[in-house]
Structure 1
Amino acid sequence: MARISVVIPLYNEIDNVAPLCTALSDALGESDTEIIIVDDGSRDGSAAALDREAAARGERFKIIHLQRNFGQTAAMQAGIDAARGEVIVTLDADLQNDPEDVLPLAQRVLAENLDVVAGWRKNRQDGMLLRKIPSRIANRLIRRLTGVYLHDYGCTLRAYRASVIKGVRLYGEMHRFIPAWLSTLTYTDRIVEVPVRHHPRRTGQSKYGITRTFRVLVDLLLVKFFLGYSQRPMHFFGVIGLALLSIGSAMLLYLFVDKFGYGAEISGRPMLIAGVLFFLAGLQFLNTGIVGEMLARIYHESQDKKTYVVRHTVHLDPPA
């Protein structure tokens, strides 16, 4: 089994294919590594170029071709599923991440018994304030909401302990939130961040624009919910439901006393409508919590989805 697996999602990077493979071969040398490049349905000839490079460089290189463009998160998941190493390192294919940083990050996971070593592009070379400023705002917001304090959530260059990263499933555009997801399976002090090199893009075009900031914000709300309540949705919906029920009940009780104790007319009062709406909304949230609990139980039992990750097992033979 390869001790280190390098996973690289790639989409329409034909000009970077050969330089990337060369840089990886030079950086990894004779180390016990496998290189998994996932072609995410490229349409510019990258697929054929990858096949040529893999044929020329030997069995260390493994190329996975997806049927169409599924997105970076799905491509990364495909590579993680195929990885056999004890440590899995992810990086971008545009050579802005430096392959020379791969081994130091992976070796730190092994040497210091960590679960995640995340890259920090301390000196970013994007050269666009319109990308840097929203990125800094998003990073600060993610840190505050998830409790995982990394400077750079947008850096793909990260090293993961395989037993931990394989415990989560990635979908949508959740690749940037992986450290936050993993905080549900490990302690945050096993997630560290180190500065890494960052280079300006030399060829090709960036696949990201300013619009991704809005998608990040939407995904962040989903991440926040799953981090805190994926296994106990009743705690989320139930609290809201009880609060709304209490407000609605208090309003209706007040009107009941006003009507039958003092003979007041309540049929045309806005409080009556508001009280009924709050009461019904509270019931709806409680029902949603119950359904969520049932779905969570069905999901974990039907998929045999474990709610824990085994770090290692010590087996001692009984004395003779």
Structure 2
Amino acid sequence: MNLSIIIPLLNEEESLQELHDWIVKVMRSKGYSYEILFIDDGSTDNSWELIQQLSQAYPQVRGIRFFKNYGKSQALHAGFKAAQGEVIITMDADLQDNPEEIPELYQLITKEGYDLVSGWKKKRYDSVLSKNMPSKLFNWAARRTSGVQLHDFNCGLKAFNKTVVKNIEVSGEMHRYIPVLAKNAGFSNIGEKIVSHQARKYGKTKFGMERFTNGFLDLITIWFVSKFARRPMHLFGALGVLMFIIGFGFAIYLGIDKLFINKFGRLITDRPQFYIALTAMLLGTQLFLAGFLGEILVRNRRNETRYTISEGVNLGDVNGNTKKNKN
């Protein structure tokens, strides 16, 4: 199979039929073998019913439905797990991503040898103050922190070699940083393509201003995880040793001062240096223990289920958490 097109969605019933028909038109014009994976992230409208109808009419349509809204990262994780194509395309369901971009993205993966190609919405049809300006600041910070030189980390339209999506873990709200996750997993051939951006045709965005706050917090998290996830002792242990040395240094100073200089001066416990020394040594010990415990957790980490699937359509024999499969 050439392509798996993964589309996470939440309450997008108005756009699904049009998006599906548009994708099918492009696929047929190029003669690709493909599948369309709709991941219903707990929709409360008729999105799932429409996905079921499409799956009955088109065997290429497959669907996964979550019991509740878990978030885009969990939806992508489920889609990556179920995808069978050699090239994986992700796109949003709101018709703001253009399916006409898919063939060129496919060629960049298969012919140019990229591991991942991210879309860049150079010209956007979003509010300047609520989306464009915060997005530019966010992308600048992401480039500086991660070292991945992309203009638009959060573009939903991306293409992946199958090997990439099978070897990265997308959790929390880390869908914004999939290129960084890919880089950390050893996939360094990451490219970018300018893609067209359409104004939203139906409904309204499901993301508020809080996504930028969450995005920057996740950026700090992924920076930390990138550098120290596999070796927490290198951070906490180093800080712990540094704090302990500072505290021990103050303790030696107080001891020498009391024994040889100010034998009959005020008590050591009356001096502020005593409490600095005590606090620093306690903090150093705690940080060192945190690093040690972190090392134990890393070595004994187990996979955790981050979402529960309600049902699926046209999934076939997929090794996942699906409780009900309607074919």
TM-score normalized by structure 2?
A: 0.88
SS state of the match for residue 267, structure 1? helix
Kept in 1, the 8 Å contact 2:173–2:218? The answer is: yes
Superposition map of 1:272-311 within 5 A: 272-299=274-301
Letter in 1 for 2:278: V
**CA RMSD in angstroms, aligned pairs only:** 1.3
Once residues 117 and 178 of structure 1 are traced to their aligned partners in structure 2, the CA distance between those partners, rounded to angstroms, is 11
Aligned length: 298
Instruction: Tell me the residue number matched to 1:213.
Output: 212
Instruction: Tell me the residue number matched to 2:156.
Output: 156
Letter in 2 for 1:55: Q
Once residues 22 and 199 of structure 1 are traced to their aligned partners in structure 2, the CA distance between those partners, rounded to angstroms, is 17
Letter in 2 for 1:100: E
Instruction: Tell me the residue number matched to 2:32.
Output: 31
Instruction: Tell me the residue number matched to 2:71.
Output: 71
Once residues 261 and 59 of structure 1 are traced to their aligned partners in structure 2, the CA distance between those partners, rounded to angstroms, is 88
Once residues 280 and 148 of structure 1 are traced to their aligned partners in structure 2, the CA distance between those partners, rounded to angstroms, is 38
Distance 1:128 1:109, change over 3 A: same
Instruction: Tell me the residue number matched to 2:203.
Output: 204
Once residues 269 and 289 of structure 2 are traced to their aligned partners in structure 1, the CA distance between those partners, rounded to angstroms, is 28
Letter in 2 for 1:160: F
Once residues 15 and 44 of structure 1 are traced to their aligned partners in structure 2, the CA distance between those partners, rounded to angstroms, is 10
Letter in 1 for 2:11: N
Kept in 1, the 8 Å contact 2:37–2:61? The answer is: yes
1:63 CA displacement: 1.4
> Could you tell which deviates more after superposition, 247-256 or 81-90?
247-256
Whose relative contact order is higher, 1 or 2, with alpha carbons under 8 Å and at least 6 apart?
2
Kept in 1, the 8 Å contact 2:164–2:187? The answer is: no
1:128 CA displacement: 3.5
The superposition leaves residues 49-94 of structure 1 with CA deviations (integer Å, 9 ceiling, x where unpaired) of 12122222x2111111111111111111111111011111111000
1:17 CA displacement: 1.1
> Could you tell which deviates more after superposition, 267-276 or 176-185?
267-276
SS state of the match for residue 183, structure 1? helix
Question: Which 5+ residue runs of structure 2 have no aligned equivalent?
Answer: 304-327
1:3 CA displacement: 2.1
SS state of the match for residue 160, structure 2? strand
Kept in 2, the 8 Å contact 1:39–1:65? The answer is: yes
Q: Would you identify which runs of 4 or more consecutive aligned residues in structure 1 move more than 6 Å? A: none
1:187 CA displacement: 4.6
Pair 1:223-2:222 in alignment:
yes
SS state of the match for residue 270, structure 2? coil
The superposition leaves residues 105-128 of structure 1 with CA deviations (integer Å, 9 ceiling, x where unpaired) of 122111122111010001111133
Instruction: Tell me the residue number matched to 2:102.
Output: 102
Superposition map of 1:1-320 within 5 A: 2-29=1-28, 30-56=31-57, 58-188=58-188, 190-262=189-261, 263=263, 264-265=265-266, 266-299=268-301
Once residues 241 and 103 of structure 1 are traced to their aligned partners in structure 2, the CA distance between those partners, rounded to angstroms, is 53
The superposition leaves residues 189-224 of structure 1 with CA deviations (integer Å, 9 ceiling, x where unpaired) of x01111111111011110111111111111111111
Once residues 238 and 121 of structure 1 are traced to their aligned partners in structure 2, the CA distance between those partners, rounded to angstroms, is 42
Once residues 185 and 170 of structure 2 are traced to their aligned partners in structure 1, the CA distance between those partners, rounded to angstroms, is 14
SS state of the match for residue 4, structure 2? strand
Letter in 2 for 1:151: H
